[in-house]
Amino acid sequence: MLRDQVLPGLGLSVSQAARELRVARQTLHRVLAGTAAVSPEMATRLARLSGTAPQFWLDLQQRYDLWHAEQALAGVLTLIPTHSLPPAVQAEIGLRHDRATQVPPESADRGRGPR
């Protein structure tokens, strides 16, 4: 998203974006290549650059990381039983009943991080 939509939308090359973000070009390239995660610091920089919220970038990174973890653990996860927390316990720990079960990200987002 960052490489394919945001930077072109801002009219910035990777080199120019790195300069404006005040990071090394290699640092930004690692994020774009998916070999480095978007840290809270980078999310704050990206938010400032793009006029978005830092949480937007952190949420994208988290969805990307969760998707990859689910893929890597697919065989093991089928062996783990699922137990349901009673609604009273869900409320006590701050879960809404409809959010207690995980909903997979939309298929268009699968495998795509903030790159």
Higher pLDDT, 23 or 115: 23
**Averaged pLDDT, 1-7:** 95
Provide the Cα torsion 38, 39, 44, 46; round to 10°: -20
Q: In angstroms, rounded to a whole number, what is the distance separating the alpha carbons of residues 54 and 90?
A: 28
In order of 16, 18, 95, the CA distances from 22 in angstroms are 10, 6, 39
What is the distance of C-alpha 100 from the center of its chain? 20
At residue 110, the pLDDT reads: 43
| Closest by CA position to 113, among listed 63, 45, 44, 56 | 63
- Tell me the pLDDT tens digit for each residue of 84-109: 999 999 999 998 755 555 444 443 44
pTM reported for the whole predicted model: 0.75
Residue 36 has pLDDT above 50, yes or no: yes
**Averaged pLDDT, 22-47:** 97
